[in-house]
Amino acid sequence: MYSTVKEVKVRSTFVAVLHRLLQFLILIFVAFYIILIKKGYQQFQEPQGSSIIKIKGVARISVHNSNLHTDNSSQALWDAADYVIPSIETNAFFIATRKTITYGQRQGICPSSLNDKLFCNSTYNPCKRGMPIPNAFEDQKCFPAYTFDLLQSGDDKLSPGVNFRFVEKYRLNETDYRTTTKMYGLRFVLTIAGHGGRFDIRRLFLAIGSGIGYMIIAELVSEFIFMRFHRHREEFRRNKIKSCLQISASNVY
């Protein structure tokens, strides 16, 4: 069965006004919302890039315990080289609020390392080729127990913010030393977002074409109301829908 569209003109003020009103609302929707508000006439592109933040300024800090030392000797000034570590980051920057410095650290020898029986050397070598190495303790009587605790949470007051350590190594009198610094502070992470657009005639025609397609909604709603609720709906159905008998090829011109 093949169906085709049949045009029926109906003299009904109510349906005609309803149809024009729906068309007007759709036209307003397309013109103001799709084209103007949503900028349907533009071609958009998301930007890509990164930012590098440069911090400047000085800050007055308290040395040792400011509650006990309030004279000028307990005060110091930090500039950007002191409180911005590292000096340059991509899409982030760190501002130090406190630091703990440990001077004069050097590497030594643990007392346990003096025991030759803990290592294989030329005089003591219990390691045999092709044999497993025995454990350092008897595990038959030693059963390890494991417990896990969360050390930091969102409301941790003991170690808030971000903290990390770094060292500065130097050599003095044939001895290697290091200075360990632990930094406390705030780390800011930046996210770049943008929305750039320009006029595109193709996008404009697509927006207008979609608006013309929306016009079919007005016809469908008007026809549905006329066929279901109008007092002359039966007559409209008879004229709108008509079944034809099978037409032979000789009757088709």
Indicate the residue type of 63.
V
> Would strands 175-189 and 59-62 be described as parallel, antiparallel, or unpaired?
unpaired
Q: Which residue has the tokens 């930046």?
A: 190
| 136 compared with 171, residue with greater pLDDT | 171
Tally Cβ neighbours within 10 Å of residue 94. 20
Residues whose CB is less than 8 angstroms from the CB of residue 215 and which lie 6 or more positions away in sequence, other chains included: 23, 26
| Alpha helices per DSSP H over the chain | 13-28, 80-83, 201-228, 233-240
Strands, E, within 141-174: which ranges? 162-172
| Amino acid sitting at position 163 | N
For residue 170, give the nearest of 109, 82, 104 by alpha carbon: 104
Residues of the chain with CATH 1.10.287.940: 13-46+194-251
Span 21-75, pLDDT tens digits: 988 998 999 888 888 888 888 888 887 777 778 888 888 877 664 444 445 556 7
Q: Which fold has domain 13-46+194-251?
A: Helix Hairpins (1.10.287)
Q: Are 84 and 55 in contact (CB under 8 A)?
A: yes
Report the distance separating Cα 138 and Cα 208, nearest Å: 83
The confidence band for 144, taking pLDDT boundaries of 50, 70 and 90, is: low
Task: Give the count of beta carbons closer than 10 Å to the beta carbon of residue 135.
Answer: 8
Q: Is the pTM of this model over 0.85?
A: no
Q: Which of 65-69, 158-162, 180-184 has the highest mean pLDDT?
A: 180-184
Residue 100 corresponds to which tokens in the numbers above?
Answer: 């703990």
For 66-123, write each residue's pLDDT tens digit: 444 445 556 778 888 888 888 888 888 888 888 888 888 887 766 555 555 555 556 6
